[in-house]
């Protein structure tokens, strides 16, 4: 997704863009999610009259979003209830690619005004996540009438401050494991040694280039983005309550954690473990059929769907070692977020 998001750029809106904007805002699913839309999205004349006024209004900063050269949507900043506010629209066919986050991050960098506000329906989870990834924080609530839904809708008020700060979670290591063979499970150890640029000393996946056999078969020269596998102990408990017999190391992880929301961390997050070791997160483990070979039904148990129907992979995260050090059970874990904008972990 991050690679796709790099194909996003912004430019000034032209009159030729308006026909595409109009078609994009006709989608009923998008109108339902956005809630606060035009009274009649199908009224082409009203839509074009409104945009014609906005194009010549110098108090409104507006940009077209381009993805791989195609018009994907638009962004605007304007005054609403006396506050500088941002709004956006992205065509449905461009959802789920990281485009909205990348576009908004580029857009807010063009705007000198801070604080900067945004409003979004409480049930518009996707837009809330985009805003939060770009540093916006929820500071209040309000209600407004939605013409599309024909009812009052609760909304969040979010604000972007000059130097947004995101609270960092903290936790600790509950177990460490390694295996010199390409086995599904790894054996628990009193401690493991992380080696910068390589991985876990004595583990089959140690190395600068890929060691997973399926990846080696594709291209043995690929960089090893899966040097260390981490799973949260809370997942083991969830699986145990569902009837599975799993414990630390049995699902192949090197480090078992507690108190850290691993799956929610952005790509590039750094985990400081013990006295000196540092792991930088590169992506999500992609569950495979080996899980079912270990225990029937386990693969399905570590897959889920979010409210928008997107696949959630719960089988842990992968990372590379950026600083060497010993890691053992009981070691504290400190989280350091990467610079904004944040990009969600994708499978690696």
3-state secondary structure of 304: strand
Taking the alpha carbons at both ends of the chain, their separation in whole angstroms is 11
Q: What are the tens digits of pLDDT across the range 241-266? A: 999 999 999 999 999 999 998 998 88
1: pLDDT strictly greater than 60: no
Q: What is the pLDDT of residue 11?
A: 94
Helices (H) and strands (E) counted in the chain, each on its own, are 10, 20
Q: What is the pLDDT of residue 309?
A: 65
The angle that helices 125-133 and 99-109 make with each other, rounded to 10 degrees, is 50
216: pLDDT strictly greater than 90: no
Domain ranges across the chain: 2-160, 170-336
217: pLDDT strictly greater than 90: no
CATH domain 2-160 topology: Aminopeptidase (3.40.630)
82: pLDDT strictly greater than 90: no
- Residue 136: band (very low, low, confident or very high) from pLDDT cuts 50, 70, 90: very high
165: pLDDT strictly greater than 60: no
Q: What is the pLDDT of residue 7?
A: 80
Euclidean distance between CA atoms 260 and 322, whole angstroms: 19
Q: Before 341, cis peptide (omega within 30)? A: yes
Euclidean distance between CA atoms 110 and 118, whole angstroms: 16
Euclidean distance between CA atoms 322 and 341, whole angstroms: 21
Which two structure tokens, joined as six digits, stand for 162? 């000059």
Quote the percentage of the chain above a pLDDT of 90: 77
Neighbours of 198 (CB within 10 A): 18
26: pLDDT strictly greater than 80: yes
Backbone angles phi, psi at 237, to 5 degrees: -65, -40
Euclidean distance between CA atoms 162 and 184, whole angstroms: 47
Q: Do the Cβ atoms of 160 and 135 come closer than 8 Å?
A: yes
Q: What is the mean pLDDT of residues 87-109?
A: 92
Q: What is the pLDDT of residue 2?
A: 41
Closest CA to 132 of 120, 114, 142: 120
Residue 234: Cβ-neighbour burial (10 angstroms; 0-12, 13-18, 19+): middle
Q: What is the pLDDT of residue 52?
A: 93
Across all residues in the chain, what is the average pLDDT?
91
pTM: 0.60
Q: What is the pLDDT of residue 304?
A: 86
Q: Does domain 170-336 have CATH number 3.10.20.590?
A: no
- Residue 169: band (very low, low, confident or very high) from pLDDT cuts 50, 70, 90: confident
Side-chain-side CA neighbours of 87 within 13 Å: the count stands at 14
Neighbours of 35 (CB within 10 A): 23
Buried b (16+ CB within 10 A) or exposed e, 44-72: eeebeeebeebeeeeeebbbbbbbeeebb
Which range, of 125-129, 234-238, 266-270, 309-313, averages the lowest pLDDT?
A: 309-313
- Residue 13: band (very low, low, confident or very high) from pLDDT cuts 50, 70, 90: very high
């Amino acid at each position: 997704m991050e690679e796709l998001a790099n194909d996003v750029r912004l430019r000034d809106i032209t009159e030729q863009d308006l026909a595409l904007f109009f078609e994009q805002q006709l989608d009923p699913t998008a109108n339902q999610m956005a809630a606060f839309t035009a009274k009649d999205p199908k009224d082409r004349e009203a839509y074009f009259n409104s945009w014609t006024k906005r194009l010549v209004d110098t108090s409104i900063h507006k940009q077209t979003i381009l993805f791989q050269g195609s018009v994907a949507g638009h962004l605007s900043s304007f005054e609403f209830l006396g506050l500088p506010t941002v709004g956006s629209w992205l065509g449905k066919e461009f959802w789920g690619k990281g485009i909205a986050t990348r576009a908004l991050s580029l857009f807010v960098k063009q705007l000198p005004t801070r604080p900067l506000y945004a409003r979004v329906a409480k049930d518009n989870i996707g837009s809330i996540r985009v805003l939060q990834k770009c540093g916006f924080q929820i500071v209040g609530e309000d209600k407004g009438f939605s013409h599309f839904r024909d009812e009052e809708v609760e909304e969040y008020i979010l604000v972007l401050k000059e130097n947004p700060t995101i609270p960092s979670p903290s936790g600790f290591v509950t177990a460490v494991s390694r295996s010199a063979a390409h086995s599904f499970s790894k054996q628990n150890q009193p401690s493991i040694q992380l080696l910068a640029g390589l991985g876990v000393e004595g583990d089959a996946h140690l190395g600068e280039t890929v060691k997973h056999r399926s990846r080696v078969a594709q291209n043995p020269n690929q960089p090893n983005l899966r040097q260390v596998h981490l799973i949260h102990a809370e997942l083991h408990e969830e699986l145990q309550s569902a009837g599975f017999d799993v414990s630390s190391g049995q699902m192949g992880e090197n480090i078992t954690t507690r108190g850290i929301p691993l799956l929610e961390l952005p790509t590039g997050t750094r985990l400081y473990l013990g006295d000196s070791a540092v792991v930088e997160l590169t992506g999500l483990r992609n569950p495979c059929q080996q899980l079912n070979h270990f225990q029937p039904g386990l693969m399905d148990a570590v897959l889920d769907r979010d409210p928008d129907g997107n696949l959630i992979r719960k089988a842990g995260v992968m990372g590379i070692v950026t600083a060497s050090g010993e890691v053992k059970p009981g070691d504290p874990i400190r989280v350091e977020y990467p610079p904004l904008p944040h990009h969600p972990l994708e499978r690696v």
